[in-house]
Structure 1
Amino acid sequence: MQHDNTDKMNGARAAAPSPAQGWAVLAFLAGMVALWTLLCTISHRAPDLDGMEELVWASSFEFGYTKHPPLPSWFMYALSGLFGTPVWLAFFAGQLVSALGLWFVWRLGCEFTSPRRALIATLMVSTTLYFSLRGTIYNHNTAQLWSIAACTWLFYRALRYGRSSSWLWLGAVAGLSMLTKYSAVIQFGVFFIFIVVQGHWRDAGVRHGVLHALAVFAVVVSPHVFWLVDNHFAPFRYLDNSIESSSYAEVLKGIWDFSIDQLARISPMLLVWLALYVWNRRRPMAQRGETYAGELSSWDRSFLLWVGLGPFVATVLMSAVLGTRLVASWGTTFFVLYGYFAFWWLSGSTRATLRRTAMIVIAVHVLMAVGYAVARGPLAHYSGRTARSTFPGPEIAQRMQQVWSRHVPGQPLRVVASDTWLGGNIAVNLDPAARVFINGSFAESPWLSPDTALDCGALVAYSDDTRGHLAEALLRLHEQARWTGVESLRWSSEKSPMIEIQWGIIPPSEACRE
């Protein structure tokens, strides 16, 4: 062991979970994935913007993209190779990485408490919007949930047991987390602070372990680092624009808004806590005694508090000191340990608490999933609201295919020049082989070669009604089109506004070999 662990310990510390307990956790996670994926598939005609972006980026395997590192797109690339590009794939991918994150949250808890108590905390945190409702949004924030949770588990094991394998695995998974989103450095910074605060840096084994982890980390991220150099650090320019703020007053307002947004996004868990507290008050359990947290070692309690609270506190402090802007979704991975904070007030029978927690949590998941599906599906449709979930992507794709076939018969449509949202809706509903020429920019579309991209022609499409970015390069491509026109259709119901799609067709050249 790497630290003094002589605090009072008792039955709360259990042996490794049994296979039956592992299967029970997997059953809950599979049910959560199925519930949210199925209801979103039924209620949505298109994924969210970030999910569509990942479907578009996954058209090729790249070592980086202009906005973000590549790992989430690699995962989508593998899934689309198996299933094509159906709309439900984005919801499934988001829920899959959320469930994997919860698995590691549970495995971490099994290190310092019983598997049942670890499951109580895991069930609780699963209701936060980041694991549930926003878990259907497959973007780089959601995709990072599993790796941050896994890193936290491996970091705990590395410090507690001092095994080289844990340090090496920590370095590898930390590298994958960095390949997901650069914000992983916040969590790594919190790890470093904990090592310093707890005095572990004095231990030679810890210092060697950190060096070994850093070496593996460097190997894992090195291909992306080479890509960054070759592409002039494009994602960092995007990051710099994202955090830029115009005034310090705006920074302070942003910190307030960010904090309130995070409170709202963990509020379902707070409601679970309240419901469980009221239930326990009205029907007390016979067996009470010391709180669950009181049965943990002081080091374990410190780990939960420092590593659990650190990311949010550090982010807010950095924003205040550096004067940077905050975006609500950046808090996605900050709350993975918050289910364990209930241990500071929970006591009594673990079996009864688990049963009550499970009943409340399952009810909350079902209510949220059904409510979200109804709101984003029938309600949005019949009210005529311009929600992305009701966007007529299949109809637009069909019309664009008809336009293309009239002017270029016998030639498959392979390139759609448009913004990510509109072009993605056309491409994914046409053919997995179709590629989006994002904003007419080769830098944003590395799957296309400037020398051959337009050899077999292209459909150019844009609209002022679809919330897409109208790039000048895209307009210049439209001017090159031999045939142009306009297609009009409603967003959803008769109450919804009309969408006008400006289209143009660049015909194939003699160089086309299809």
Structure 2
Amino acid sequence: MGAGRESGSLPRFAALPVGVVVALQAVVLTLLSSRYGFHRDELYFLAAGKRPAWGYVDQPPITPWLARASTALFGETPMGLRAVATLLAMATVVVVVLITREGGGGRGAQLFTAVATALSTYVLVVSHMLATNTADMLLWSLIAFFGLRLLRTGDGRWWLAVGAAAGLGMMNKWLVLLLLSGLGIGVAVAGPRRVLRTWWLAAGVGVAAVLTAPVVLWQASHGWPMLTVASGISEDDGGQNRVLFVPMQLVYLSPVLVPVWVAGLLRPWRDAGVRWARALAIAYPVVCVELLALGGKPYYSVPLLLPLVALGAVPALRWLARTGTVARALTGVAAAVCVVVSVLIGLPVLPAPALGPVLAVNKESGEQVGWPEFADTVAAAWAQVPDKDTAVILAGNYGEAGALEYYGPERGLPQPYSPHMSFADWGPPPDRLVGPVLLIGRLERGSPASRLITGCRTVVMNHNAEGLDNDEDGVTISLCGTLTRPWSAAWPQLRHYY
């Protein structure tokens, strides 16, 4: 393929100001990383990382692998686990800035993009804790950057980079297929279609296929459990997700950034110098339509807003330069207010007991509070269990099981079991453990579990010391009799995905 405008004609990378932003980002995230405690998903990642595999019931392997690597290097603490989340967030800022540079943005636009990215609400939320979205945010940004470089230069060799990033994306979360389909439709509709007429495309697909194959084979050999989980999300929450989808697009990054990413959507149609980026402008609405059809969660499309912010930085700064002093002052006040709100929502700066209003917007903060107290409550209930040599602790969900696996040993608790998500694959309890059962959570009347686990009486109800209304506050812990069937026979009926 012939090359277009070479990278040498691009503005210089603003290494110093962007480096300062990234350094400050690292310092703030590190200093706050031990606040509150582990999120329930992080406890699950710790458990999964100790059981390395090519896949898990509800996710591919990259995030658990990252959890294992980060805690091995930095310690099995919230700070140690979240070190990798901080590194991923820093890399995301750099990549998004590179997209701004790709679109001709100079020093000022690059600095604007770095600050806007680092301080946006969504980025703060997924940067403070390790989540599948933390890696997804970086991988989507990389695919967008490599794809835009391919479209701008016409150099087919960039298909290899796109394929590698896409393969890694598939190893983290299969939502990347939506991004790839959106970009593919964008290129087919708006071009430049010459990038499709090269054998480098096949090479890039080959790279992605090699990276993806072990994950797909694992899912196929286990009955495609990720599709079962995804269908359950759509069935249970699809209606609510569709209703909230458009409003949440306006607030997830920050309301003050909406005009910026809208400018990024429009710029390829107005600025002939970046018309090669029209595929990205088409990809975002395509992905949104796909998510609306599937009933996906509104935040699934948010990583695609970051490249649009990058493209919108130049026209946004031009508008600020043209506008009057009063308008600039009002814009500055609005930006300051939005930054404060983003920090309060996304970072653990408030005392835990004051989190109540934040939970209405970001419930993930509440899921980082109360796990040691939860383990204390279970330990107090365990002290009342007779015949401990044959007893079993059965947790209702992966967060509870992960918390007990992490905090339980120092409290004298045995290995917990749970039929939820991949913990079900790591069970069942040995058949020699015939009961009693210390059950966490209520049995739904008429459920398979209520027929298999009998004679339950509530021993204690869990409450966190901060009084937060999170998912584990008010959970009952019951002492039950023996199972009506051996664990090996009962386990398939107890297994659940939601």
Bucket of the pairwise TM-score, normalised by the shorter protein: 0.7 to 0.9
Distance in 1, Cα, partners of 2:84 & 2:236: 33
| Structure with higher helix content | 2
The residue number in structure 2 matching 1:35 is 28
- 1:395 equivalent to 2:373? Answer yes
Q: Spell out, residue by residue over 1:214-265, the C-alpha distance to the aligned partner (whole angstroms, 9 max, x if none).
A: 001110001011112211111112222323489xxx86x8545201011121
Shift of 1:89: 5.2
Relative distance call for 1:392 and 1:160 in structure 2 (3 A) is: closer
Query: Structure 1, residues 80-100: CA drift from partner, whole Å, max 9, x if none?
Result: 333454344565554443332
1:260 to 238, 247, 270: 247
Matched, 1:159 2:156: no
* 1:72 corresponds to: 63
- 2:114 alignment partner, SS class: helix
| Amino acid across the alignment from 2:274 | D
Tell me which residue corresponds to 1:377. 352
- Kept in 2: contact 1:381–1:390 (CA 8 A): no
2:198 is paired with a residue whose SS is: helix
Which residue pairs with 1:286 in the alignment? none
**Helix, strand or coil at the partner of 2:93:** helix
Structure 1 length-normalised TM:
0.71
User: What residue number does 1:81 align with?
Assistant: 72
> For the residues of structure 2 that align with 1:375 and 1:344, how far apart are their CA atoms?
36
> What's the counterpart of residue 193 of structure 1?
185
> Which SS does the other structure have where 1:232 is aligned?
coil
- Which region of structure 1 is more displaced relative to structure 2, 109-118 or 68-77? 109-118
1:233–1:335 Cα change, 3 Å: same
For structure 2, the residue ranges without an aligned partner over 5 or more in a row are 262-266, 322-328, 483-498
1:158 Cα shift?
Answer: 2.9
Match of 2:231 among 223, 228, 240: 240
1:41-120 equivalence runs, <5 A: 41-42=34-35, 44-47=36-39, 49-88=40-79, 92-113=83-104, 114-120=106-112
Q: State whether structure 2 residue 463 is matched by structure 1 residue 490.
A: yes
Q: Residue 14 of structure 1 aligns to a residue in which SS?
A: coil
Task: After TM superposition, give the deviation of residue 418 of structure 1 in Å.
Answer: 3.7
Q: Distance in 1 between matches of 2:284 and 2:357?
A: 39
Q: CA deviation at 1:455?
A: 7.2
- The answer (yes or no) to whether the contact 1:39–1:369 under 8 Å persists in 2 is no
Q: Structure 1 CA distance, aligned partners of 2:66 and 2:467? A: 38
Contact 1:486 1:501 in 2 (8 A): yes
Decide whether the 8 Å contact of 1:417 with 1:437 is kept in 2: yes
**What pairs up with 1:166-315 in 2 under 5 angstroms?**
166-202=158-194, 206-244=197-235, 255-270=242-257, 298-303=272-277, 305-307=278-280, 309-315=281-287
1:125 is matched with: 117
Q: Which amino acid aligns with 2:65?
A: W
Q: Is the 8 A contact 1:419 1:469 kept in 2?
A: no
Which digits, 9 at most, give the CA deviation of each residue in 1:449-483, with x for residues without a partner? 6586977999744134xxx99996766786599xx
Q: Distance in 1 between matches of 2:242 and 2:173?
A: 21
Does the CA contact (< 8 Å) of 1:129 and 1:268 recur in 2?
Answer: no
Q: CA deviation at 1:414?
A: 11
1:316 maps to 288
- Change over 3 Å in CA distance of 1:335–1:399 after alignment to 2: same
> C-alpha separation between the residues in 2 aligned to 1:53 and 1:122?
31
Closer, same or farther: CA 498–130 of 1 in aligned 2, 3 Å: closer
1:22 paired to 2:2? no
Aligned partner letter, 1:315: V
Change (3 A) 1:235 1:33: same
Once the two structures are TM-superposed, the CA of residue 382 in structure 1 deviates from its matched residue by 12
1:461–1:501 Cα contact (<8 Å) kept: yes
- Distance in 1 (CA, whole Å) between partners of 2:468 and 2:127 is 30
Cα displacement string for residues 175-215 of structure 1 (whole angstroms, at most 9, x for unaligned residues):
011121111112112322333234443457x5212111000
Query: 8 Å contact 1:169–1:213 — kept in the other structure?
Result: yes
- From the superposition, tell whether residues 84 and 469 of structure 1 become closer, same or farther in structure 2 (CA, over 3 Å): farther
1:13 aligned to which of 10, 23, 29: 10
For residues 376 and 337 of structure 2, the distance between their equivalents in structure 1, rounded to whole angstroms, comes to 40
The answer as to whether partners of 2:234 and 2:295 remain within 8 angstroms in 1 is yes
In the alignment, residue 491 of structure 1 is paired with which amino acid?
Answer: N
Aligned to 2:123, the other structure's residue is in SS state coil
Within-5 A mapping of 1:492-507: 492-493=465-466, 500-503=476-479
The answer on whether the counterparts of 1:40 and 1:88 sit within 8 Å (CA) in structure 2 is: yes
1:420 corresponds in structure 2 to 398
Report the equivalent of 2:303.
333
1:42-91 superposed Cα distances (whole Å, 9 cap, x missing partner) = 3x2452x4444433433311211112222212211222333454344565
Q: 1:391 and 1:297, CA in 2 relative to 1: closer, same or farther beyond 3 A?
A: closer
2:417 to 437, 448, 455: 437
Offset at 1:156? 2.3
| Secondary structure class of the residue paired with 1:240 | helix
Instruction: Give TM-score, length-normalised by structure 2.
Output: 0.73
8 Å contact kept, 2:156–2:200: yes
Instruction: For 2:290, give the aligned amino acid.
Output: M
In structure 1, the gaps of 5 or more residues are 275-292, 351-355, 507-514
CA-to-partner distance for each residue in 1:346-391, whole Å, 9 max, x for gaps?
23999xxxxx999997986566335653556131489999973574
Q: Distance in 1 between matches of 2:140 and 2:318?
A: 28
Contact preservation (8 Å) 2:395, 2:416? yes
Structure 1 residues 445 and 272: alpha-carbon distance in aligned structure 2, compared to 1, 3 A threshold = same
Counterpart Cα distance in 1 of 2:244 and 2:358: 29
Question: Which amino acid is 2:180 matched to?
Answer: F
CA distance in 1, matches of 2:135, 2:279: 23
Taking a change above 3 Å as real, the CA distance of residues 325 and 474 of structure 1, as seen in their structure-2 partners, is same
2:405 touches 2:416 (CA, 8 Å); kept in 1?
Answer: yes
